[in-house]
Amino acid sequence: MTESAAPWVVILLGCVLGLLLLAVALLVRFSGRLERIERRLAGGQSGAEAASPSPAETSGGGAFETFLSEDPARRALAKGEQFAAYRRWRQENGLNWSNS
């Protein structure tokens, strides 16, 4: 190897080593994020099991049919009034999604 090529080899090896270290650092960072996501998912499964659907939601006709069957007079209401009463009923029975 000539004297003029020696500095280029050192520079090239330094760049390759720097890129290799950068790649290893990125892999370590990504694996840490993946572990954090896995822990959140593992912790979230127990919460999802605790929040089982209510009988009104799992009945054959769904929650709206349960709402109508509770009071036969509700079937005689106009559609707009039925839906307004249904929204209130869902709020009272805790069937709505929270705004969080």
pLDDT in tens, 61-92: 788 888 888 898 999 999 999 999 999 999 99
Amino acid, single-letter form, for residue 10? V
In tens, the pLDDT along 12-66 reads: 999 999 999 999 999 999 999 999 999 999 887 555 455 666 665 665 678 888 8
Q: What's residue 12's pLDDT? A: 94
Q: What's residue 100's pLDDT? A: 55
Domain ranges (residues) in the chain: 1-52, 53-100
* CA 71/CA 75 separation, integer angstroms: 8
The CA-based angle 6-9-10, given to 5 degrees, is 90
CA-based end-to-end distance of the chain: 68
* 97 band by pLDDT with thresholds 50, 70 and 90: confident
